[in-house]
Chain A
Amino acid sequence: QVQLQESGPGLVKPSETLSLTCTVSGGFMSTYNWSWIRQSPGRGLEFIGNINYIRLTDFNPSLKSRVTMSVDTSRNQFFLLLSSVTAADTAVYFCARQVYGVYIFDVWGQGILVSVSS
């Protein structure tokens, strides 16, 4: 069965770029969207954006100016870059699989806490 695992730094300095990787195991990346969602006490669950295997992306307009996503299907990985971070970007970041055309999140990674602090 498909499993997702986030990885990356747990601490990022203000104004720098947050960089996370999600590794997909046990399945193929085609026919799904691959998403990033974050959770914080202040904002709750917030959809960040998604990418598919042909690199088409959709980003939440609230974050669009700061978000970059990419995918490497040969390594079964997809990536999140969030630039110019502030303390408000401190959150648990989840990667998730999104059913194409239905837009529900049926498989999630365990999440990674990223803190923004100097």
Chain B
Amino acid sequence: DIQMTQSPSTLSASVGDRVTISCRASQSISGWLAWYQQQPGKAPKLLISEASNLRSGVPSRFSGSGSGTEFTLTITSLQTDDFASYYCQQYNSFPWTFGQGTTVEVK
């Protein structure tokens, strides 16, 4: 299985901050990476697919980049609703696997 490793595990930030979350794959996954946001007690919500393709309805302050084994999720000007956990998921090789998550908390 492809292992997905996110860093950091927890990130403390303030409203208006620029936030960057990293995701590393144990082998190349080309650009087959998705990002999800999960609020406490809720299901994950798809934010980005194909590493950088923003899904419909997702605010433009979210962006994704990367290819191969190194990927980044960036949130420019963090908003209150953005304090949540974020997960990457690879879909290059079966079984599909997720990172362990990054929690963005209030500083």
Seen from chain A, the residues whose Cβ lies within 8 Å of a Cβ on chain B are 44-47, 58, 60-62, 94, 96, 102-106, 108-111
Task: Identify which of A47, A94, A104, A110 contacts B97 (C-beta below 8 A).
Answer: A47
Scan B84-97; emit 1 where CB is below 8 A from any A CB, else 0.
Answer: 00010101001111
B42 interface residue, CB < 8 Å from A? yes
A44-B43 in contact (CB<8A) = no
Contact size class for B? Answer: 20 to 34
B95-A47 in contact (CB<8A) = yes
CA distance A62 to B1 in the complex (A): 10
A105-B46 in contact (CB<8A) = yes
Seen from chain B, the residues whose Cβ lies within 8 Å of a Cβ on chain A are 1, 32, 34, 36, 42-46, 49, 55, 87, 89, 91, 94-101
Nearest chain B CB to A34's CB is how many angstroms away?
Answer: 14
A47-B49 in contact (CB<8A) = no
Closest A residue by C-beta to B97: A47
A103-B96 in contact (CB<8A) = yes
Closest B residue by C-beta to A63: B95
B45-A102 in contact (CB<8A) = no
Closest A residue by C-beta to B87: A45
Residues of A within 8 A of B100 (CB): 44
CA distance A4 to B71 in the complex (A): 30
Q: A44-B101, A45-B87 are in contact. Are A106 and B95 (CB under 8 A)?
A: no
